[in-house]
């Protein structure tokens, strides 16, 4: 197996503050579990199938002249062709997550804390 191409994706930098005292004394495994529990990792999933490989992650974007917000980036490798999709999440949700779904789609879940409501929907990808 030889490396053929490299695709570089620009992503905004993200910092995380863990809500536990003495975090510096904990090991990397404990810190990883703590970071995952508060949603600190942007990477959402990788879905390798026979013909297509899909990778998805969340990115908090600082937008010029607009309200900042989350976007879902999905990269797909199909028959040697690399495509990128960007889905803007323009709602006022407090948290968002992305999950694998049927081929050609991603499932987006958004939580609205004030209304105590959870929305889930399928978003179609360009393939």
pLDDT at residue 1, as a whole number? 58
Residue 122: per-residue pLDDT: 93
Contact yes or no for 110/96 (Cβ under 8 A): yes
pTM for the whole thing?
A: 0.72
Percent of the chain past pLDDT 90, that is, above it, reads 10
Predicted confidence (pLDDT) per residue in 39-86, tens digit = 777 788 787 777 888 888 888 877 788 777 888 888 888 888 888 888
Query: 46, 55 in Cβ contact below 8 A?
Result: yes
Domain assignment present for residue 36? The answer is no
SS3 content of the chain, % helix, strand, coil (to 5): 10, 45, 45
Residue 115: pLDDT band (50, 70, 90) is very high
Flag whether 113 is in a domain: yes
Structure tokens at 116: 């105590």
Provide the residue range defining the domain that includes 69. 42-124
In a domain, 118, yes or no: yes
Question: Whole-number mean pLDDT of the chain?
Answer: 82
Q: Is residue 18 part of a domain?
A: no
Q: Is the pLDDT assigned to residue 15 strictly greater than 90? A: no
Residue for token pair 């197996």: 1
What domain count does the chain have? 1
φ, ψ of residue 35 in degrees (nearest 5): -65, -40
Report the range out of 19-33, 36-50, 87-101, 110-124 with the highest average pLDDT: 110-124
Residue 26, pLDDT score = 81
């Amino acid at each position: 197996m030889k490396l053929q191409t490299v695709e570089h994706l620009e992503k905004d930098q993200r910092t995380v503050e863990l809500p536990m005292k003495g975090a510096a004394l904990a090991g990397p495994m404990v810190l990883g579990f703590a970071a995952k529990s508060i949603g600190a990792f942007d990477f959402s999933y990788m879905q390798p199938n026979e013909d297509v490989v899909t990778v998805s992650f969340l990115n908090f974007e600082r937008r010029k002249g607009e309200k900042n917000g989350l976007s879902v980036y999905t990269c797909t490798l199909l028959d040697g062709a690399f495509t990128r999709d960007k889905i803007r999440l323009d709602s006022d949700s407090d948290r968002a997550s992305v999950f694998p779904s049927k081929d050609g789609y991603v499932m987006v879940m958004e939580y609205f804390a004030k209304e105590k409501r959870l929305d889930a929907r399928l978003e179609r990808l360009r393939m």
